[in-house]
Amino acid sequence: MKVIPASVPEVRIVEPDLFGDNRGFLMEIYQEERYRGAGLGAPVVQVNHSHSIRGTLRGLHYQLRRPQGKLIQVVRGTIFDVAVDIRRGSPTFGLWTGVELSEENRRQLFIPGDFAHGFCVLSDRADVIYGCTELYDPQDEGGILWSDAGLRIHWPLADPIISPKDGRLPCLSEIPLERLPLYEAKS
């Protein structure tokens, strides 16, 4: 597999090895030893499947006490996937990176647990599979408004379909610092 740093350094784009012939292909989606050796977080403990229609935007979400690192892959369709550094004290605080993931490019995106995550659907339908490094806890969830002008995310949709809950999320600047993860410099 090939691991490529994204514009925000801790986020990684993964190009898994693909073994194909005239019958189709086989691709290793996750192998703990190999992924951990590449610096891609703790073992996956939960796997989710998200199915969405064109124009859907989900996010930006995060978990505070039990942060979920995520390994995201699209198995049908195309999405624009976004990670935002929300670690207070981080040199890249408030910066975002966006990557197009599709069934054609078969890329994965690894997002560390202390980042906010969201995506929008660019194809008619999209099926997104993502492994998480922690179990989901609804009492621990936080979020940031997808259209936060301070973040200046260049979403490729003008008028996305969002949930009422996501439409009520605060801007990053409105979130008390104690409700954001703390940056821990790696030595």
Which amino acids are annotated catalytic?
61, 130
- In this structure, what DSSP letter does residue 120 have? E
Give the torsion through C-alpha atoms of 135, 61, 73, 160, to 10 deg.
Answer: 150
Report cis status (omega within 30 of 0) of the bond before 135: no
Q: What is the dihedral of CA 30, 146, 7, 4, to 10 degrees?
A: 10
Q: Distances from the Cα of 24 to the Cαs of 18, 20, 27, in angstroms? A: 10, 5, 10
Residues 6+ apart with CB under 8 A from 20: 26
Alpha carbons 140 and 28: distance in angstroms, whole number: 31
